[in-house]
Amino acid sequence: MRFLLAAALLALSPALFAQTAAWSPAPGHTTLHLWPHGAPGEPAHPAPEVNTTTAKSDLVAGRPVFRLGNVSDPTLTLYKPKHNSGAAILVFPGGAYQVLAIDLEGTEVCRWVNSIGVNCILVKYRVPNTGPYPRSAAALQDAQRAMGLVREHAAAWHIDPHRIGVLGFSAGAHLSAALSTHFQKRLYTPVDAADQLSCRPDFEMLIYPGWLALAEKHMEPNPSLPVTANTPTAFLVQAEDDPVHVENVIEYFLALKHAGVPAEMHVYAKGGHGYGLRPTPVSVSIHDMPSTSTTPLPITHWPSLAAIWLHTIGVLR
């Protein structure tokens, strides 16, 4: 009898066995599943989502980071601003295509995006081993699908479909660049009307990206990111001491310049990698005597420059 009951439940209620979310947005926000019938190539019974952060994980600005793993049911979540400018930004957290820094480079970023009057769409894309493209197309499929869905819902969400950009961090910055250079054709079989709409971002913001230049090729530009005159205008940020290599933004900036695409690049002496919008302090000394006071590194102020840039390109009016 128990076996028959279990079999009946499995047949009648597959949702009972769907992926259990380890992270969920706060109540009051609209969330859409990207793939109504399951993401392309995903197993029927995937491993559950998990917070991979442990007591030994690195802190950022003295606080832990929620590192979300095993995402096979990707979603987008709309965070609406109090004063809506009509612009929107899709945010792609980083995590080396293995996890998603869902708070540091996700929800915390959306709070800033909302503060400047912009709708924030946090994209929880698939991990692990879902990029970089073309090693795997899964994350880029999610990005293409997410942009189409946002444009499909633009009227209902009071968003201008011609002022929708992307903002990514680390691997998420690479994903943003991949979407900005691979929008001509979907990398999956179209699902519905959303896939008939353009998935080209109107602008891109890449913060400490990886894979834009290839370390194994002496930091040459990544040929899998074919920059053309139709690539969106870009805002680029990286630190010279970033272990992921500052050449990522430099080579991408030069590729944009050669293609005639306007771009703004900010390179800082110090900042490292993976700071998001959290304060990046540096200890200061007075007359060679250590001081307990700290002052934020200049790179901490990149969001202010980004907001000004959004005004200069007409996204904020």
Burial of 80 (0-12, 13-18, 19+ CB in 10 A): middle
- Residue in 143, 144, 140, 118 with CA at minimum distance from that of residue 130: 140
**CB neighbour burial string for 247-257, b if at least 16 within 10 angstroms, e if fewer:** bbbbbbbbbbe
How sure is the predictor about 283, in pLDDT bands with cuts at 50, 70 and 90? Answer: low
Q: Is the pLDDT of residue 11 over 60?
A: no
Q: Is the pLDDT of residue 248 over 80?
A: yes
Average pLDDT rounded to a whole number, residues 163-184: 99
Q: Terminus-to-terminus CA distance in the chain, angstroms?
A: 66
Q: How far apart are CA 132 and CA 139, in angstroms?
A: 8
pLDDT, greater one: 116 or 20? 116
Quick: pLDDT tens for 97-119: 999 999 999 999 999 999 999 99
Could you tell me the pTM of the whole model? 0.90
Write down the pLDDT at residue 8. 41
Q: How far apart are CA 234 and CA 259, in angstroms?
A: 12
Average pLDDT rounded to a whole number, residues 11-21: 42
Quick: pLDDT tens for 228-238: 999 999 999 99
Q: Is the pLDDT of residue 291 over 70?
A: no
Q: Is the pLDDT of residue 278 over 80?
A: yes
Q: What is the mean pLDDT of the chain?
A: 91
Q: How far apart are CA 230 and CA 254, in angstroms?
A: 15
Average pLDDT rounded to a whole number, residues 261-282: 93
Paired tokens of 172: 């998420």
Give the lowest-confidence range in 6-20, 249-263, 303-317: 6-20
Write down the pLDDT at residue 3. 36
Is-contact 124 76, C-beta < 8 A?
yes
SS3 305: helix
Average pLDDT rounded to a whole number, residues 249-273: 97
Q: How far is CA 81 from the centre of its chain?
A: 19
Average pLDDT rounded to a whole number, residues 286-303: 72
Average pLDDT rounded to a whole number, residues 142-152: 99
pLDDT, greater one: 281 or 153? 153
The domains of the chain, with CATH numbers, are: 34-312 (3.40.50.1820)
Write down the pLDDT at residue 21. 67
Write down the pLDDT at residue 13. 37
Average pLDDT rounded to a whole number, residues 222-231: 97
Q: What are phi and psi of 91, to 5 degrees?
A: -105, 130
Residue 108: CB atoms within 10 Å: 19
